[in-house]
Amino acid sequence: MNITRAGSFAAIIAAGALVLSACASGETTDNGSEGETSALSGTLVGAGASSQQSAQEAWVVGFQEANPETTVEYDPIGSGGGRETFIGGGSQFAGSDRAFNDEEIAADNFASCVPGTGIIEIPAYISPIAVIFNLEGIDSLNMDAATIAGIFAGEITNWSDPAIAATNEGVELPDLPITAVHRADDSGTTANFTDYLAVNAPDVWTVGQIETWPTEYGGEAAPQTSGVVDAVTNGTGTIGYADASRAGDLGTVAVAVGGDFVPFSPEAAAAIVDASPRVEGRGPGDLAINLDRASEEVGVYPIVLVSYLIACNEYTEGAPVDLVKAYLSYVISEEGQALAAEAAGSAPISADLRSEAQGFIDAIQ
Amino acid sequence: MTSPEIIRPKAKQRPGDRVFSASALISGSLILAILAAVAGFLMLQGIPGMFADPESVSIYTEGENFVEFVVPLIFGTLWAAALALVMALPLAIGIALFISHYAPRRLAQGLGYIIDLLAAVPSVVFGLWGANVLAGAIQPSFVWLEENLGWIPLFAGPVSGTGRTMLTAAIVLAVMILPIITAISREVFLQTPPLYEEAALALGATRWEMIRTVVLPFGRPGVIAGAMLGLGRALGETMAVAMVLSGSGVIVFDLIGSVNPLTIAANVALRFPEAYGINVNVLIATGLILFAITLVVNSIARYIVNRRKDFSGAN
């Protein structure tokens, strides 16, 4: 009895060891920088913004199906962690909700890149953020930035407030207290939403762009996008902000742009990226933009989250350059962007941006 | 009186004895090693966070330091756990007494099973239930509380529109710690010596008087131990609180408003996914403080149980 037990135990250990070693050998594929055949192989490692997670998952699956010999890993550790990992050389590309700032670029200590060659930054993931609310019988409301800021700063506390009524003639607003729901966790969505408020309503929204909600503004905190959406859906007289793909049947706010009210749409979100100027003084391939949230242009939706894909212009020896080029090309391709739109509800980038970015990707060494 | 020399016959040691005593020893020291490893990790990673330059920590709000960051969280942790205990303890004693002394035997067994089943529900399920069902259902009663009892600071309002408040979180926590307090209380109540109970009844006590004079004093240390175990669980509960509570780093006594203090564990769960660099150390440092709080609570429980043991009549 004892012997058979010990035997089976040993068998389990042996089997486990076999499985583990099989996994390990599966991971240590050589990187295909030799490129003797057209089929790509090797492992590409990226890390960064969790906002890109669903899109990256879709891209990885699509890319690996087309190139079965490759492995692409994307670790959604957050934008800050993604940038640190990229600087430290732990990843070949990064996803980040903000571009590297001038100081970080000037420091030029990217471990994977040849010094002095700079980096590529492509605003490849554009996601509209919807202001969602839950009022019976009302599907859409018009608001300007000052009103939205007033609501989220706790100054406008009732739905029948004249500030809301002024832009919504003919809509019967209930006499109901407003519960404003914000993210409890630190989030790029919050950063982009508050950036919009800080730019367009600086008198009302005085704390500027923030990731952690200021306690003096009060309001309700809910974890993650799903928590905010659930809280808005289950509450009464609630309003919140969330990734537009998750707005569902909730009412959404059309925001004031240049005298008109624009509801969110993928086209309007992509339009703001094209209408915004580039960050000045950047090297070739660095397509970082100064998102012009105060834009007055017709048909742009200013509350968007723009997330960058960041790579080197010139990699140091031994990096899987072909793989980087192929993957980035796939991500910005029409097919890749359509895949992300389907999986994550993002807005496909415009053809102009695509052709410009493609040129820089092709030049990666 | 001097104790006579005890002559112990040399016990025969068979291989089984040695193996068993060795494995028991290993198990015992392993738990110490694990505890030491956890404490060591928390200190190694957490202490740099405690003394980090506040400028370099991005999860602090403007001009905040570690103490200002952690004090509201400590308050929230203790506040939520205490509220949960206040709600759960009387209920648990009631259920335990019903099972041990009032219910017919068949019903008592079934009820015991159901209570134990409650302990097996994962906390994420409690969190989903609390956030999506309980919060919405209980919100109208918060409105009533504010209208009628608003003069009590605890119910000052303004009322949260979603019901995801400290009171809701405390109710969820109370439900979660109910099974453990009930189970332990039930066991000690059942151990009350029947002779004592019969003696009380023979002296003319009613059933309630018998319970008050015999069962409750006899079971007190057990009830306290159960309450402390429950408190330990409430202090460390993470997912349910993170999902239910609308919290931030403030000290607020209002139980039904939108702005509530967050607990340490829930704060770590919410902040960790996006944390990087020294922020991670700060969060681990708050974990170290939670570890210390839990140790203190458990030590107090031990102390109370040991002090009462001599008078319990169990021996």
State the pLDDT confidence band at B11, using cuts at 50, 70 and 90: confident
Q: What is the pLDDT of residue B265?
A: 93
Strand partners, A257: A260
> Model pTM?
0.77
Q: What is the pLDDT of residue B304?
A: 76
Q: Which two tokens stand for residue B123?
A: 């906390």
**Nearest Cβ partner for B162 among A185, A215, A238:** A238
Query: Is the pLDDT score of B8 beyond 80?
Result: no
Query: Is the pLDDT score of B105 beyond 90?
Result: no
Q: What is the pLDDT of residues B32-86, one digit of tens each?
A: 999 999 999 999 999 998 988 888 887 787 778 889 899 999 999 999 999 999 9
State the pLDDT confidence band at B129, using cuts at 50, 70 and 90: very high
Query: Is the pLDDT score of B201 beyond 50?
Result: yes
Q: What is the pLDDT of residue A9?
A: 52
Q: What is the pLDDT of residue B310?
A: 54
> Predicted ipTM?
0.73
State the pLDDT confidence band at B134, using cuts at 50, 70 and 90: very high
Q: Give the mean pLDDT of B118-125.
A: 90
Q: Which chain B residue shows the shortest CA-CA distance from A226?
A: B243
Q: Are A121 and A287 in contact (CB under 8 A)?
A: yes
Query: Is the pLDDT score of B194 beyond 60?
Result: yes
Secondary structure (DSSP) of chain B: -PPPPP-PPPPPPPHHHHHHHHHHHHHHHHHHHHHHHHHHHHHHHHHHHHTS-GGG-TTS-TT--HHHHHHHHHHHHHHHHHHHHHHHHHHHHHHHHIIIIIS-HHHHHHHHHHHHHHHTS-HHHHHHHIIIIIHHHHHHHHHHHHHHHTTSGGG--PBPSS--SHHHHHHHHHHHHHHHHHHHHHHHHHTS-HHHHHHHHHTT--HHHHIIIIIHHHHHHHHHHHHHHHHHHHHH--HHHHHH--EES-----SSBS-EEPPHHHHHHHHGGG--THHHHHHHHHHHHHHHHHHHHHHHHHHHHHHHHTTSS--
Reduce the DSSP state of residue A187 to 3 states and report it: coil
Domain locations along chain B: 16-311
Chain B positions touching chain A (beta carbons under 8 Å): 58-59, 61, 131-132, 135-136, 139, 158-164, 242-243, 246-250, 258-259, 262, 269-271, 273-277
- B161·A227 Cβ contact <8 A: no
- What percentage of chain B reaches a pLDDT higher than 70? 96
Q: What is the pLDDT of residue B125?
A: 94
- B61·A215 Cβ contact <8 A: yes
State the pLDDT confidence band at B99, using cuts at 50, 70 and 90: very high
Q: What is the pLDDT of residue A5?
A: 53
Query: Is the pLDDT score of B3 beyond 70?
Result: no
Q: What is the pLDDT of residue A28?
A: 39
Chain A positions touching chain B (beta carbons under 8 Å): 50, 77-81, 84, 157, 177-179, 181, 184-187, 211-215, 218-223, 227, 230-231, 234-238
Shortest distance between the Cα of A229 and any Cα of chain B, in A, equals 11
- B162·A77 Cβ contact <8 A: no
Query: Is the pLDDT score of B169 beyond 50?
Result: yes
- A186·B246 Cβ contact <8 A: no
Q: Are A266 and A128 in contact (CB under 8 A)?
A: yes
Query: What is the four-CA torsion angle of B41, B47, B52, B56, rounded to 10 degrees?
Result: 20
Counted residue by residue, chain B has a size of 315
- A50·B158 Cβ contact <8 A: no
Q: What is the pLDDT of residue B2?
A: 55
- To which CATH superfamily is domain B16-311 assigned? MetI-like (1.10.3720.10)
Query: Is the pLDDT score of B112 beyond 90?
Result: no
Distance CA B183, CA B117 (A): 11
**Nearest Cβ partner for B131 among A81, A219, A230:** A230
Q: Which spans in A276-333 are helix H?
A: 321-332
- Residues of B in Cβ contact (< 8 Å) with A79: 274
**Which one has a higher pLDDT value, B160 or B30?**
B30
Ordered domains of chain A (ranges, CATH): 6-128+270-289+305-362 (3.40.190.10), 129-264 (3.40.190.10)
**Per-residue pLDDT tens listing for chain A (365 residues):** 444 454 455 555 555 454 444 444 444 344 434 333 447 888 899 998 888 888 999 999 999 988 888 899 998 888 888 888 898 888 999 998 888 888 888 888 888 888 888 899 999 999 899 999 999 889 899 999 999 999 999 889 899 999 999 888 888 899 988 989 999 888 888 888 999 999 999 899 988 888 888 878 888 888 888 889 988 998 888 999 998 888 888 999 999 888 889 998 888 888 888 888 888 888 888 888 888 888 888 888 999 999 999 999 888 888 888 899 999 999 999 999 999 988 888 889 888 889 889 988 988 88
Q: What is the pLDDT of residue A21?
A: 46
Q: What is the pLDDT of residue A8?
A: 54
Average pLDDT of the residues of chain B: 88
Shortest distance between the Cα of B118 and any Cα of chain A, in A, equals 25
